[in-house]
Amino acid sequence: MNQELFQLTDKVKALAVETGAFIREERKKFDRSNVKKKHAHDYVSYVDKESEKKIVTCLKELLPEAGFIAEEGSGSLNDEEYCWLVDPLDGTTNFIHDNAPYCVSIALRSKKELLLGVVYEICRDECFWTYKGAPSYLNGQEIHVSTVNSMEDAFIALGFPYDSTTYRPMAVHLIRSLYGNVGGLRLPGAAAAELCYVAAGRYDARIEAFLGPWDIAAGTIILENAGGKVTDFKGGDNYTSGYQVVASNGLLHPYLLKIIDEL
């Protein structure tokens, strides 16, 4: 199984990099008049849609028996044993404004667990990947989470979801609790890439809610296989939908959950 997953992951890596190259070239000639609004402050472009078509077409050839959950609605899921989770362009708002990071995110899961994850961060030409039972890698080099165990030194990424009305109390609470009490706060705007940055030790933690499963699936297995931890806001396993996601190096997790619980 591991050899099969390794070979499949290798093909998914090539697909993610190829799609990223397409996105990179489109960015050079991108016209913001082509942007459409899905919801308030939530955008989509022809680049997202064309990228998803390319990815889904290729993945169907790689594993015809698998279903799909993709951000822009391609494919279908009908109780298949395997499921691809695809975000063709995570960080669309960053892409529109020519601001890093933005990435391609592809994961495969069975009904029981995540099997592989690939995230290609386009701006830095960085491919993060792993599969079940393997370490996590960045461009061929094994990566690990940080060893920071003090909130005073923690470098933390936050995500502010599009549903600002519902999330505002938590956003304000996190800023009040963390700002000035941790090593630094950032709002990069691409969940998949940021989970990989936690996996690589660039961030020590990341917190957000109201994401989609395609946003976090690949980054989750990459982070976990790099020694990190992902839970919902209560410390449980109800994070796979993306509704609540706390990701960390593991050492900081109890402190983060305590702060969240104080709201």
Question: What's residue 39's pLDDT?
Answer: 56
Residue 1 has pLDDT above 80, yes or no: no
Residue 74 has pLDDT above 80, yes or no: no
Residue 140 has pLDDT above 80, yes or no: yes
Residue 126 sits in the same domain as residue 256:
no
Residues above pLDDT 90, as percent of the chain: 84
Banded pLDDT at 77 (limits 50, 70, 90): confident
The number of distinct structural domains making up the chain is 2
Residue 253 sits in the same domain as residue 134:
no
Instruction: Name the one residue in this structure whose structure tokens are 């599969």.
Output: 131
Final residue before a domain boundary, out of 125, 143, 161: 143
Domain that holds residue 59: 2-143
Residue 11 sits in the same domain as residue 118:
yes
Residue 50 sits in the same domain as residue 129:
yes
Residue 217 has pLDDT above 60, yes or no: yes
Residue 23 sits in the same domain as residue 48:
yes
Residue 109 sits in the same domain as residue 174:
no
For residue 174, what are the CA distances in angstroms to 31, 233, 260, 261?
Answer: 36, 12, 7, 11
Q: Taking all residues of the chain, what is their mean pLDDT, rounded to a whole number?
A: 93
The closest of 64, 58, 30 to 46, measured between CA atoms, is 30
pLDDT tens per residue across span 89-113: 999 999 999 999 999 999 999 999 9
Question: What's residue 153's pLDDT?
Answer: 98
Residue 30 sits in the same domain as residue 67:
yes
Residue 42 sits in the same domain as residue 111:
yes
pTM: 0.95
Question: What's residue 2's pLDDT?
Answer: 85
For residue 36, what are the CA distances in angstroms to 44, 48, 110?
Answer: 5, 11, 33
Residue 135 sits in the same domain as residue 17:
yes
102 residue type, one letter: Y
pLDDT tens per residue across span 227-248: 999 999 999 999 999 999 999 9
Final residue before a domain boundary, out of 94, 120, 143: 143
Final residue before a domain boundary, out of 84, 109, 143: 143
For residue 118, what are the CA distances in angstroms to 25, 71, 195?
Answer: 21, 16, 12
Residue 133 sits in the same domain as residue 227:
no
Q: Residue 166: which CATH number?
A: 3.40.190.80
- Round to whole Å and give the CA distance between 63 and 167: 38
Residue 88 sits in the same domain as residue 184:
no
Tokens in use for 69? 């959950």
Residue 135 sits in the same domain as residue 20:
yes
225-230: which pairs have CB atoms within 8 A and are 24 or more residues apart? 225/130, 225/134, 225/135, 225/136, 225/199, 226/130, 226/135, 226/136, 226/143, 226/144, 226/145, 226/199, 226/200, 227/144, 227/145, 228/145, 228/198, 228/199, 229/253, 230/195
